[in-house]
Amino acid sequence: MSDYLKTFRDLYYSQPFKDVQSYNTDNCPYGDFIFNSKDCYLSFELGGSQNCLMMDNCMKCQDCADCSYTKYCQLCSNSLHLEHCYDCHFCHYANNCLNCLYSAELFNCHDCLGCYGLKHQQYRIFNQPFAKDDYEAKYRELLVEPEKIQAELQALKNRLGYRANYLRNSDNCAGDYLVDCHNCYECYDVNNGQDSAYLQDCFYASHKEDCFDIENGGGLELCSNSYSLGYGYNSHFCLFSTTMNNCQYCARCRNCTDCFASVYLKDKKFYILNQPYEEAEYWRKVAEIKAEFAKQGIIDIYGLVGDPVTSNQ
């Protein structure tokens, strides 16, 4: 093991890791990766939300429970991939909907039960129109048999067919659940991506441009090969870091510029292995360490971090 690699691992394992990776939260117990949220319980990958329970990969939600990949919603539960919805439950892939139940693939609909693939509709049950009073009566009748509603919904799906993928306001893209994306390849659950590839769960912050191989990232440009990287420019091989510019092989850092192979830094510039350098010397040293990493076969941050059990062996 080279001295550089050993120094990095000694630094990385020199202190206990945070039990949760959360920021600016209030009363959000039993969760992880929660940001700018309040009174949220047992939730993960949650941002800008309030009074939520058992949420996963959601943002800007209020008074919601048991939802995944849901954004800008209120009083919704037991749903997947909702956006701008209110009081919707047991729904999948709905946008701008109100008071819908056991439905899927809806856009700009309200008061729908057991419906599939509708746009700009109201007072529908199993895709059939009803007068308001008749709808409410039939709605109350069917609610006592949720299994029947789910069976009818499945029959509708089988008859009408399924989407191959969910792309909205996106062009020249390959992947699934892409919104406002352009020229994105093999990307999944991404908002506002452009000229990027192999992104996953990058929807919390807008603007992902010219990025490659990122999971859980947002507000990025010219970044690659990183996990949980937020608000970065030209940063690569980073882990659990935010607001990083021109950084490489950094872990658990915040608001750093031109830092290399460093950990636990905040508000630093021109640091290598947690030590400050003059600018000219910094670039010379970075080139030297990169050559050594190449000899050691280090190709990403995970190879640099290593196994905590064997890192000192």
**Over the stretch 248-304, which tens digit does the pLDDT of each residue have?**
999 999 999 999 999 999 999 999 999 999 999 999 999 999 999 999 899 899 999
Kindly report the pTM of this predicted structure.
Answer: 0.87
**Sequential DSSP letters for 256-289:** EEEEES-BS-BS-EEEETTEE--HHHHHHHHHHH
Average pLDDT over residues 187-213: 90
Cα 40 to Cα 27: distance, rounded to the nearest angstrom: 7
Average pLDDT over residues 189-209: 88
What per-residue confidence (pLDDT) applies to 229? 93
Beta bridge partners of 230: 218, 242
What per-residue confidence (pLDDT) applies to 27? 95
Position 70 pLDDT exceeds 60: yes
Burial bucket for residue 3 (CB in 10 Å: 0-12, 13-18, 19+): exposed
What per-residue confidence (pLDDT) applies to 308? 55
pLDDT tens for 4-34 read 999 999 999 988 877 777 888 999 999 998 9
Average pLDDT over residues 203-224: 89
Burial bucket for residue 212 (CB in 10 Å: 0-12, 13-18, 19+): middle
What per-residue confidence (pLDDT) applies to 311? 47
CA 68 from chain centre, in angstroms, equals: 10
Q: What share of the chain in percent tops pLDDT 70?
A: 97
Three-state DSSP string of 212-261 = EEEEEEEEEECCEEEEEEEEEECCECCEEEEEEECCECCECCEEEEEEEC
Query: Which residue in the block uniquely carries the two structure tokens 């329970």?
Result: 53
Average pLDDT over residues 234-259: 96
Task: Please state, in angstroms and as integers, the Cα–Cα distance from residue 221 to each residue in 196, 235, 245, following that order.
Answer: 10, 8, 10
